[in-house]
Amino acid sequence: MSTQKTRKTPPPQRSQRTPEAPGTPDGGGNGDGNGAADGQDREPRQSGRITRRRLLGTASAAGAAGLAAGAAGGAWAHSAAQDAPPTALSALGSTAVSFHGTHQAGIVAPAQAHGHLLAFDLAPRAGRKQAAALLRRWSEAARRMMAGEPPEDGERDTGIALDAGPASLTVTFGFGRSFFSRTGLTDRLPAQLAPLPDFSADALDKKRSDGDLWVQIGADDALVAFHALRALQREAADTARVRWQMSGFNRSPGATEQPHTMRNLMGQVDGTNNPRPEEKDFAERIFVPTSGDPSWMAGGSYVVQRRIRMLLDAWDSHSLGEQEQVIGRRKSDGAPLSGGHERTEPDLDKRGPDGQPLIAADAHIRVTAPESNGGAAMLRRSFSFHDGFRDDGAPDAGLLFVAWQADPLRGFVPVQRKLDRGDALSRFLRHEASALFAVPGGPGKGEYVGQRLLEG
């Protein structure tokens, strides 16, 4: 697992281009919010001089409190603007994730506060050659932005993220089943990209499902995330067009006194039972091994994405006790109803004074437990979403479910089939979009994502 580090000589920030400024349903979240483990470095970055665009503050190694800058009429105080020593970027904006690594970024690292998920379809005349050129452009732009640099040299950058640090930006790329026929690469199509089976609770919108290419963008700053979204969409040019796009959010880092597992829009902790990198079989469950087939997927993973709308009005009409019975956990701290704390293994056999199981037969944590599904497990790294209100006044809100596994036929599919047959939580959910993508391993220095597929 990579560790954080501070560079002795920082590379240029986005703000250098101006003359005045050099320089994480029961488990659908990001696990316990531990540090990065993507095979990428996450490192605080130091800035040069302050600018009028940057709020004054300190982020010293001693954790000194920020300096207040104030003056009558809202103007900057002369002493603050002229006499303050150089300051570092805030801790929130200073963290960078390396684009290069064994695995792509954005899989194991803690989920960021802001996310964009989108799919592209190749243009009618675009084939393998054009797709390779697009992946080169996308990879270079992602590498630069993840390092806190503009996506390209010159003056074409939109300036959306000027003065911002990298803010834990990650950009992840994947390929849908249709990509292989569009590029003449059907002989390299992984068996794991077989279409997902139909589930009885699905009400899928085909226009918001599937796609040739998939992009996941995450950052702890909303402008940094949107800047990356806009840059990649512009780079697609005439090669690919957006098929669908979804935006989501999580709790911001530092919003709680101490790190906590994320909560979803139902108020439940979300990600407690996620596999953890320190578990001995973690890599086996989540990543394709070096000896895996096809070889170009070595170090990669398969991602299932679903738009799951939550029936929040119906959910909120139930009592706290009823909600806890549906999930099988206490809402206050995420502890299983069988007792203990959040990390306590649920005792599925424990019974109450009335002889009934403390965790109901259809409780979500029982139905999704690996022991209930032949050991099937996924790494869930999702985002919440709210897209306004529906015609009936209900919130159009829920979960952008993102689940990673070495093989969806052994991860997502058996668990979803079990949920389909009898999960108390399913009464409050609507699955409205679905997609499956092959996400290759991380690129080496000088490589672009997918190079081993497109040029192998």
pLDDT tens digits for range 121-154: 999 999 999 999 999 999 999 999 999 999 988 7
Residue 252 has pLDDT above 70, yes or no: yes
Nearest C-alpha neighbor of 335 from the set 268, 274, 382: 268
Exposure string of 212-249, with b = 16+ CB inside 10 Å and e = fewer, is bbbbbbbbbbeebbbbbbbbbbebbeebbebbbebbbb
Mean pLDDT across 167-190: 98
User: Of all residues in the chain, what percent carry a pLDDT higher than 70?
Assistant: 80
Residue 17 has pLDDT above 70, yes or no: no
Alpha-carbon torsion, ordered 109, 213, 451, 289, to 10 deg: 50
Name the pLDDT band for 63 (thresholds 50, 70, 90): very low
Name the pLDDT band for 156 (thresholds 50, 70, 90): confident
Catalytic positions: 270
Q: What are phi and psi of 172, to 5 degrees?
A: -125, 140
Top-confidence range, 25-34, 134-143, 364-373: 134-143
Pairing of strands 395-405, 383-389: antiparallel
Mean pLDDT across 251-277: 90
Alpha carbon 78 to its chain centroid, in Å, reads 42
Mean pLDDT across 400-423: 94
Residue 246 has pLDDT above 80, yes or no: yes
Name the pLDDT band for 271 (thresholds 50, 70, 90): confident
DSSP assignment, residue 452? H
Close Cβ partners of 163 (under 8 Å, ≥ 6 residues apart): 13, 14, 15, 21, 51, 53, 54
Residue 20 has pLDDT above 60, yes or no: no
294 cis-preceded (ω within 30 degrees of 0): yes
Question: Are the C-beta atoms of residues 395 and 312 closer than 8 Å to each other?
Answer: yes
Give tens-digit pLDDT for 338-362: 999 999 999 999 999 999 999 999 9
Name the pLDDT band for 416 (thresholds 50, 70, 90): very high
Mean pLDDT across 182-187: 97
Residue 404 has pLDDT above 80, yes or no: yes
74 versus 231: the higher-pLDDT residue is: 231
pLDDT at 88: 59
pLDDT at 92: 85
Residue 251 has pLDDT above 90, yes or no: yes
pLDDT at 89: 63
Query: What's the chain's average pLDDT?
Result: 84
Close Cβ partners of 421 (under 8 Å, ≥ 6 residues apart): none
Considering the entire predicted model, what is its pTM?
A: 0.82
Any idea which of 31-45, 93-107, 162-176, 380-394 has the lowest mean pLDDT? 31-45
pLDDT at 154: 74
Question: Are the C-beta atoms of residues 377 and 416 closer than 8 Å to each other?
Answer: no
pLDDT at 44: 47
CA atoms within 13 A on the CB side of 350: 12
pLDDT at 412: 96
Residue 398 has pLDDT above 80, yes or no: yes
Mean pLDDT across 216-226: 98
Give tens-digit pLDDT for 272-305: 889 999 999 999 999 999 998 999 999 999 999 9
375 versus 219: the higher-pLDDT residue is: 219
pLDDT at 83: 53
User: Of all residues in the chain, what percent carry a pLDDT higher than 90?
Assistant: 71
